[in-house]
Structure 1
């Protein structure tokens, strides 16, 4: 059985999505982040919330605290702390992700050693590992670079792993990203509702 991990920050103003400011305030950016996290958790359904801060896990979820000073260590530790089962990790920056995409990622892990979902900005939005021990290689991959996805793929293949690539998604870093992603979300999406409301305030 494949376990899903969601890596997230508690949506605290000034600590999340600060690149959305301007045009939005720190409080508004935190509200957008909260909406993205709500949608992501709803889509995943159940799993492990790997959280930085005090954000509680929803019903049906388990919760572990992020460990490590830098993101590469936090990613590797997330897999280590979640158990020995195959696992797919995503963040809170792609609220447009669908259940079908996640089911496809889990299905691919039946044959592949790893699955990787590239992001448009050069990073990645999802990483699945049949054996979570493979995640130790993430400690050597620099994050927040335009070639982070490529470097991650190279590192996984350097271990001799068979890697299956998932569709490329756009993650939310800027207000332009947020608007583009909101347009991809269904009408009942918290993220779409939050972004639409904030833009309405700006134009009022």
Structure 2
């Protein structure tokens, strides 16, 4: 088994109101949607840090945040950060893979706060026994993609945010002659119904705690205001 380190990359966006999770509004207000995004990112980064620790020393796994925006106090200071490339999202993903310079890399997003450290650690170990790993998302996309020999050309040109994104990406890997192992399927947080469903999967996380507080207070006030204005 190769001993090259695995770079565990989180491709993320600065959680600013109006820039993230816009499909959650309504019923969530932009400030609530961005707070949920920040909580999802924090839970994801916790899992990444724990996965890196659990793999050491048998397998070196190093974290990297590829960020669109400016780091804030929501980002742990000890995590390395590089800026995202410009252009459409497939180009940003390609550039993220290319930061690994041909060594193993596993890329995840910030939309699956329910992901567990052991799931990420297992994905990194599996990656060194095959050519690629792919974690399908329930909306037809993917939540994780790993390449043992990171190569941005394998994702460049694959349209994202489509119901067939995952299938097209898998076909691209197969056409390149790569052996692909599936990871567990997860639900992305894209729409308001996803919030409660995902929160229930990881009820002790920051995301779930915040979602419950909004359901109990903030959303009710928002709905009452909307009803008052409509009447």
Regarding TM over 0.5, the answer is yes
Deviation per CA, 1:153-188: give whole Å up to 9, x if none.
00011100001010100000011001100000142x
Match of 2:53 in 1: none
Which aligned segments of 4 or more residues in structure 1 are displaced greater than 4 angstroms? none
Normalization by structure 2: what TM-score? 0.84
Which structure would you say has the larger Rg?
Answer: 2
Cα offset, 1:59, TM superposition: 3.2
Partner Cα distance (1:131, 1:68) in 2 = 23
TM-score (normalised: structure 1)? 0.95
Q: Deviations over 1:119-170 (max 9, x none)?
A: 000000000110112x312112111110000000000111000010101000
CA-CA distance at 1:61 after TM superposition? 1.5
Q: CA RMSD in A?
A: 1.3
Whole-angstrom CA distance in 2 between matches of 1:60 and 1:110: 26
In the other structure, the counterpart of 1:69 is 87
What is the aligned partner in structure 2 of residue 161 from structure 1?
178
How far does the alpha carbon of each residue in 1:32-84 deviate from its partner, in whole angstroms, 9 at most, with x for none? 00000000001100610000000255233211111031000000000112444
Counterpart contact for 2:203–2:209, Cα < 8 Å: no
Q: 1:203, CA displacement in angstroms?
A: 3.6
Distance 2:94 2:143 in 1: 15
Matches within 5 A, 1:1-204: 1-45=5-49, 47-56=63-72, 57-133=75-151, 135-187=152-204, 189-201=205-217, 202-203=219-220
Task: Tell me how many residue pairs correspond in the alignment.
Answer: 202
Whole-angstrom CA distance in 1 between matches of 2:70 and 2:100: 18
Q: Would you say the 8 A contact 1:115–1:129 is kept in 2? A: yes
SS at structure 1 position matched to 2:171: helix
Displacement, 1:15?
0.4
Distance 1:80 1:122 in 2: 25
Matches of 1:186 and 1:128 in 2, distance apart?
27
The residue matched to 1:101 in structure 2 has which SS? helix
